[in-house]
Each structure stands twice: as structure tokens, then as C-alpha cells.
Amino acid sequence: MPTVITDSHCHLDFPDFDEERADVIARAQEAGVHRMVSICTRLRQADQVRAIADSYAPVFWAAGTHPMSAAEEPMVSVDDLVALTDHPKFVGIGETGLDYHYTAESAEVQKESLKVHIAAAQETGLPLIIHARAADEDMARILTEGYKAKPYSCVMHCFSSGADLARAALDCGFYLSMSGISAFPKSKELRAIFAEAPLERILVETDSPYLAPPPYRGKRNEPGYTVHTAKVGAEVFGLSYEDFAAATEANFDRLFSRAAAWSAAA
């Protein structure tokens, strides 16, 4: 069997891909990236992201209000998010979270939005997808308090925060996702954090069109480049590429069980 991996987080609805979306998805499959989760960051764009999942067999989707947009968008409700779960290829809640690097002025709105998303994850049993930047203390506290109140599953998407937040997430049984940032030459401290994490809690992603890993750094990212991050992940864990890919596939299937069930039935 060929070695396959999953891009657990990308943005195929973004205009960067408008002219060649089908080709981008085909290139990903040729590279061995057999599944992609395209993330809707504003609920008013849900129909567009859903349509991509409907049009392309390898694509699944998730939706939420990105923290950097929380102050600009209507406050999401649990009912809004739960309603999206009727679609069979809808696999996660988010991305949501906290970003105090760019949008610290909307911190209170971001926290309110995050708590709504946590409640939706608790109600639906679907995994929460978290964006965290420059907000480690508040993020660890809110995620942990929510988990203690009612357990839920979660992935720290594009994880590039500190060791304390990593430990808090792992203590709740959450997952850490490696993006192209993990493959940057200067990301030694970040790779060390991943190396201390259990292999069974690791995912890979692109966050495309952003954060392309070497040798494409500085260019538009795309799902097929997940392979390059996964090769670095294999080095971090001292594994062959094939064994690391198999581990992250098992992890993805465990966390995103809806996608796994869909793939098994296809």
C-alpha cells in the first residue's frame, strides 16, 4: 500500500486557490495526501466551504469563527454550530481560539466566542479546532476549565505556543498539530516541544495557503506540501516517514472519527 497522510487543516475556499482548486487537490493526492480538512473561518462562508467538500471526495470541512474575526462577525451560538453537523462531511468545530498578537483589543469577545465553540464541541462530540497565539495563559485556563466541566476532544492547530500550553493540552488528552512552522530551521525549541509529546497525540497540517514549509517557504502553501512537514516530523520522533505517516493517520482517524467513518464507507 502507498504511504498516505492527511492535511488536517487547510483553507481551500480562500481566493488563493480560486484559479486552480481542482489542480491543487489533484496534486495533493498525487503526493500521497489523500484527505484534507478545509476550515471555514466565518460562518457566513459556510455554504462555500460545504460546496467544496461536496465537489471533491478527499475534502472534509469544519467551521467556526476565527478569533481574529470574532469582533467583526455576529456572535456565534451553539445552535448555529450544531446545525452544521447535519452535513455528513462536517467533522469539527472551529477554528476558534484566542489571538492576542494581532487582535488583543477584542480579547473579551474572543473568550466569549471560544466558550460557545467549546460548548458546541461538548454537545456534538466533534473535535474542537484551536488557534492560539500570544494567549497561552488564558488559553490553557479556558480549555482546561471547560474540559473539567465536561470532557471534549480538541486539536491545537498549527501549534507554535510554549511548553506550558502544550502540557495543559496534552493533560486533557488533546492533540498537537505540526504545521510548516515546525519545519523552519529556526524552530528548534518548537520541535523540542513536539519531541516531548506522545506520538499518539500528533497530527500534521499545512494551514495553506499560509506557512509553506521548506523548500517552499515564502510561497503559497498547498495541501500537497504536508509531506514536507511530515518528513520533519518523522525526524523529530526518530521514525521512518512511513511509520510516522501511519501514526498520524491513526491519530487523525481517532480524533476525526466522522472523516474516518466516511473514508471507510467510500
Q: Which residues are annotated as a binding site for a divalent metal cation?
A: 9, 11, 95, 131, 157, 207
CA distances, 113 to each of 109, 134, 161, 228 (Å)? 6, 17, 20, 33
Instruction: Look at residue 37 and give its three-state secondary structure.
Output: strand
Question: Dihedral of the CA atoms 213, 101, 41, 166 (nearest 10)?
Answer: 70
Give the distance from CA 70 to its chain's centroid. Answer: 18
Yes or no: say if 228 and 183 are a contact pair by the CB < 8 Å rule.
yes
What residues form the annotated binding site?
9, 11, 95, 131, 157, 207
Instruction: Look at residue 98 and give its three-state secondary structure.
Output: strand
d(CA 195, CA 166): 11
Exposed/middle/buried for 259, CB within 10 Å: 0-12, 13-18, 19+?
buried
Is the dihedral angle over the CA atoms 247, 248, 254, 260 positive or is it negative? negative
**Which run of H or E residues covers position 51?**
helix 46-55
